[in-house]
Structure 1
Amino acid sequence: MTSTLPAAFFARPCAPGVDLVLRELSTTVEMHELVVDNLAHLRRWEQWARAEPTLPRTFEHTRRRLDEFTQGRSLPCAIRVGGELVGAVELAIDPASSTGDLGVWVSTAAEGRGIARAACEAVLDHAFGSARLGRVEARIAAANVRSRRLAEQLGFALEGVLRSAHLVGDERHDLAVYGLLAEDREAARDGARRAAA
């Protein structure tokens, strides 16, 4: 499907052919269609995907996230490849504690291509750059091996597992809690620069 989205509020390139755009109301229809197409995949790990998706519900979710964005409490982005939406990445921000919570998903067709990692790297650059956060967490169902591997590739450290803390439908899952500190990311970047020199 070729995107017919109007010009986005912002578009941030994060890999060749991959960029992030703010989840605006103009993305609602395409995002709704993407969620519906990937519902079985999303329902395996995400409680929010258990609700029957409707266009009004997607519209309302987007509106709430935009309100939080204007309050500095969220960075809700859609991930595009070649102008077509393939997923979403969001940073929930707690300004009082200067911390964030990172979440990401991509369509099954976009998995395994480094797209989610590139999108998360761009959001983490914002989190530890202009947003000046001290810590970002990622909370992932312990059995979700693909997402846990992504967190580790991004430099997150496993800090513990909360038993039976993640409810999806009628099933309870253990929840792996990962943390990344600003100094961790800076040290990793320094190491990468030295290795490349």
Structure 2
Amino acid sequence: MRNTLLRMLAALMCSLAACADVTPVTDFDLEKMAGKWYITGFATNAQWFVNHKAGMKVGTAMLVPTAGGDLDLSYANLNADGTCWRMTHLAKKTDTPGRFTFHSQVWNNDNDMRIVDVLYDEYAVVHTIKTKDGVSEVLNKLYSRTPEASVTLQQKFTQFSLETGILPDNIVILPKNAECPEA
């Protein structure tokens, strides 16, 4: 009975967090977001993550602003067998600086992405609400300009993820990984 109650409470927290108004950082600068980032932290209550988090490692993200103010996102992760997993999205700007939307063809979901904390030459915390078939899930990522995030950044990311309804076991600082060769 207690476990059932805890699961229900966790699900409620997650749904409330998905509806919470997490706002992008003030004075967002798209050009300063440009370049290579390492995805060093990952946090979500989504079942796919719970099933795969043990095998996840640091990956890279290339963020390229477009002339129209959108953001080209290119992700790459080196798999254990030496192959590379890659995914790209064109994140469309919204009326709110630092907030972008895109549809993932790979996962068939709609994404509402917000850069909620950033020090452009060091780190960014990205909060995304993913919606598929009317069900929303929160995904937080810690981007770092280096392959390892400082302990202070890890703590900041963990605290933010807890505040957005992520269960403590579902907040992961990813282990280092070799990089995919340039595509």
**Aligning the two structures, in what range does the TM-score lie when normalised by the shorter sequence?**
0.3 to 0.5
Q: TM-score, normalised by structure 2?
A: 0.39
More helix by share: 1
Relative CO higher for 1 or 2, CA cutoff 8 Å, sep ≥ 6? 2
TM-score (normalizing by structure 1)? 0.36
